[in-house]
Structure 1
Amino acid sequence: MIQHEAAAPFPMPDDLPAASRRVAAALAQAGHPALIRIFPDSTRSAAEAAAAVGCTPEAIVKSLIFRRADDDVPVLALIGGADRVDTTRLATAAGGRVARADADFVRRHTGFAIGGVPPVGHATPPVAVIDQGLFALSTVWAAAGTPHAVFQTTTTDLARIAGAITAAIAADR
């Protein structure tokens, strides 16, 4: 496991992947001293990330990209790893009907591939919505640009750095 601190946007460690360097720069710009951790095994899914960092899937934040149907604006849903997004609730919070984005839309609007989409550093600033259920946890883990990179944060800091609206967007279990 390689660990890198995101204390300042420059200089960045040469062995940190380019996508993770962009996340580190965005975190530093937001005043967040996150430590980006790179794992040899995949952290693409909530279960894989939880196994890698040694937490429960609930403490993994999924950064899911949707597109607002009326104007194609990207919508970022930040939700716990064990939860699913209720698209009706998300649409209410995001200000319009939403649909799941395809891989091309995600890459074009975020600059990241599915499986490593972080909550910050997107090419096009999204409408960000964080599920209120995440606030039951003090510490969470989020993707850091690649399917092998994550960082730890608090839910309060996550909402702040993502510029997220707080709403109940999780589907009922």
Structure 2
Amino acid sequence: MGGLDGERRALEALEASGIEFEITKHGPVRSLEEAAQVRGVTPGDIVKSLVVRRGDDDYLFVLVTGDRAISWPKLRALLGVSRLSLPDAATALDVTGYERGTITPFGSITAWPVLADERVRGRRVSIGAGAHGVAATVDGDELARALGATVADVTQDAATD
């Protein structure tokens, strides 16, 4: 389900969204910092698409800038739940059709709800586009709008435990 098929699904979904985007392709990278460097952006300009499990067969995408991490207390409070978790890589693939490192809401095999951290807005961001080494640069406000994302403060500094 990954590779060219994932890239094709993401690209078709991006085109269907009507937002302006620019595709960047690069070779393998070993870290978010390295990805930022080859894309010519800062780590904070990269948007990680994280799959979060709310319950049995109930997931959502949480969009987080690369310099931030999910604040589990904030996210649980916003969603009104006492427990959330990150699924393992195989489950994330099963519920999105994308391997870890390629996950994006665009073209996901299931249209899970999207929650975007407020720091995604007001800037140009680079989001994964369905395959390793493929990213789409988009306006963060347009990204949130196109995905119908709920926008809220759900992160903390990545260095905070």
TM tier relative to shorter chain = 0.7 to 0.9
The one-letter code sitting in structure 2 at the alignment partner of 1:17 is: L
Range with bigger deviation, 76-85 or 90-99:
90-99
Q: Are positions 1:22 and 2:9 aligned together? A: yes
The CA deviation at 1:95 is 4.5
The one-letter code sitting in structure 2 at the alignment partner of 1:111 is: G
Kept in 2, the 8 Å contact 1:45–1:115? The answer is no
Q: Are positions 1:152 and 2:148 aligned together? A: no
- Cα distance in structure 2, aligned partners of 1:120 and 1:48: 23
The one-letter code sitting in structure 1 at the alignment partner of 2:47 is: V
1:139 to 106, 109, 124: 124
The CA deviation at 1:17 is 2.2
The residue number in structure 2 matching 1:4 is none
The residue number in structure 1 matching 2:154 is 169
- Cα distance in structure 2, aligned partners of 1:105 and 1:116: 14
**Length, aligned pairs only:** 155
The residue number in structure 2 matching 1:76 is 61
Higher relative contact order at CA 8 Å, sep ≥6: structure 1 or structure 2? 2
The percent identity for this pair of structures is 30
Kept in 2, the 8 Å contact 1:62–1:142? The answer is yes
Alignment partner of 1:100: what SS?
Answer: coil
Q: Are positions 1:127 and 2:109 aligned together? A: no
2:27 to 12, 29, 40: 40
- Cα distance in structure 1, aligned partners of 2:17 and 2:102: 20
1:67 to 53, 62, 79: 53
Kept in 1, the 8 Å contact 2:120–2:141? The answer is no
Kept in 2, the 8 Å contact 1:19–1:112? The answer is yes
Kept in 1, the 8 Å contact 2:104–2:129? The answer is yes
What RMSD, in angstroms, separates the aligned Cα atoms of the two structures?
1.8
Gaps of 5+ in 2: none
The CA deviation at 1:46 is 2.2
The one-letter code sitting in structure 1 at the alignment partner of 2:60 is: V
TM-score (norm 2): 0.87
The CA deviation at 1:21 is 0.9
Q: Are positions 1:114 and 2:107 aligned together? A: no
